[in-house]
Amino acid sequence: MQHQKSVVAVVIKQYGTGLYRTCVSLNRERTVCLGTHADEETASARLTRFWKAYDEGTIRATEDLLQLIDPVEAGSCNDSIDHQKEQPTTPS
């Protein structure tokens, strides 16, 4: 199956910590961190699991990514990016 152009799945090396972060975006509005890993090999393995699930059709929406997030790692990867941040309101 050919992957959609709008899907982005990457491993990002955090140079300050030496950790590897696996991130996926199914659209332009939201990026989800699937996990933080001590080495590039396990981070890449998580991306392989993502692409397999995506190709099988079990990943269609951002909410479907929850099955790929390890609950133990969720706390270490709590800064998933939501590009639709609310605009600050000014007091009246």
What average pLDDT does this structure show over 24-34? 89
For residue 71, the model assigns a pLDDT of 63
The lowest-confidence range among 38-47, 64-73, 82-91 is 82-91
pTM above 0.85, yes or no: no
For residue 2, the model assigns a pLDDT of 55
pLDDT at 87 over 70: no
Q: Where are the alpha helices (DSSP H) in 1-92?
A: 40-56, 71-74
Q: Where in the chain are the domains?
A: 8-77
Q: In Å, how far are 4, 21, 32, 76, 91 from 70, measured between CA atoms?
A: 25, 13, 13, 10, 40
